[in-house]
Chain A
């Protein structure tokens, strides 16, 4: 229990650092900024208490808000995907899989995992950018940010996932 807690705390700090130092400075086409902090919620394994998922999501969002002057926007969005994540994961896991399954390519299958990440990221970015713009007057820009952000973040998360998993596999083999 404690080891899981510290792993998550460590993951939260690393994600926050990378988000603030690197990804907050990316403005693809001028508007698209990936919210990689969503990976915090994506990583939650099956069977985590739902309140726990919600609190982790809220905290990562709140810390992100403090660093980027977006009071409440990211915490509201991350809490929303933290609410959806356990339900979505339950729909996508294969039959007879472990109770504490960690979502990954191996456990969900490539297609399912990409779908899972993209759906969560689409909800996260929609919520975040709609709260940010708060109008529909310049909806093409908002739509561009949402779509671009979701796709880009999904790609980044896939890269992170591939990096971590391949490293783990090589360490196992050696």
Chain B
């Protein structure tokens, strides 16, 4: 016993070493179970506010590019407004007075980027809005030019976004003209290039075609621009295309982003969960059966009450 204690005291640095390494690796591998580990990331209030101050200073460095971007978007919007007005006028003259509302409803919360990496395989963005502003994990994040990413974890006043520039990011998308869909992935390398996989070989794909969100997931509404096809290549398996896409979002100078807060509907999610969950499916079916049986029984009763003679004669 004494020898054992001596051994432990003599080699205590080994035990401390192993303990600290285990703690580190637990942090590393439990990073996905987010709510718990949020204190050890930049979503932590202290670190977040430190970055808030820093980005307040450094944001002036990119004002010019930011302005140019806004200018371009303004120009485009002005053009669109003009076109829309022309269309509206043309329609007023027609017998159709009102068009059905085609626009999708979604609200956005605007936020500033306070910290970001773009050179690592697992890049993350920290923004200065959190749960207190209605942001929850798995909400879509966009900027004035296009899609940025998806909210990954949130704290009270800060959130971490998994941008398109992350090897784990996968976003479903479609080609604007042909509406064939694929999924957008990123490979470590350039901060403005991503790839679209699993677009079937028979799809008519050309370069300069715009890639946009397809609205199959409830994260992004359909039709938000992501990027433009730069090169049409084949995937290694030869079944689908492998498209190189230049992203619209300019990540190195990204400052202002918007989080789409109310597009994802809980009703839809519940329905989809129900469809994949066998137990609840059963219960739903049973419920339906019971209801059906009840209806039948009630109808029988009604019949019996209405035609007592018939039942009597049968008896």
- Tell me, yes or no, whether A136 is within 8 Å of chain B by CB: no
Q: Which residues of A contact B37 (CB under 8 A)?
A: 71
Query: Which of these, A31, A58, A134, contacts B24 with CB under 8 Å?
Result: A58
A75 touches B119 (CB 8 A): no
Which size bracket describes the interface of A in this complex?
20 to 34
Nearest residue, chain A, Cβ from B13: A50
Q: Which residues of B contact A79 (CB under 8 A)?
A: 17, 20-21, 24
Which of the candidate stretches B40-48, B208-216, B229-237, B287-295 sits at the interface with the other chain? B40-48
A83 touches B25 (CB 8 A): no
Q: How far is the CB of B286 from chain A (nearest CB, A)?
A: 45
Which of the candidate stretches A61-69, A89-97, A102-110, A117-125 sits at the interface with the other chain? A61-69
How many inter-chain contacts with C-beta < 8 Å in the A-B complex?
Answer: 82
Q: Which residues of B contact A69 (CB under 8 A)?
A: 41-42, 115, 117, 124, 126, 160
A66 touches B40 (CB 8 A): yes
Q: Which residues of A contact B41 (CB under 8 A)?
A: 66, 69, 71
Known: A51-B12, A62-B40, A66-B40. A133 touches B20 (CB 8 A): no
Q: Which residues of A contact B17 (CB under 8 A)?
A: 54, 79, 82-83
Q: Which residues of A contact B299 (CB under 8 A)?
A: none
| A residues with CB within 8 A of B | 21, 27, 30-31, 33, 50-51, 54-55, 58, 61-62, 65-69, 71-73, 75-76, 79-80, 82-83, 131-134, 138, 141
| B residues with CB within 8 A of A | 12-13, 16-17, 20-21, 23-29, 31, 37, 40-42, 44, 47, 50, 54, 115, 117, 119-122, 124, 126, 160, 188
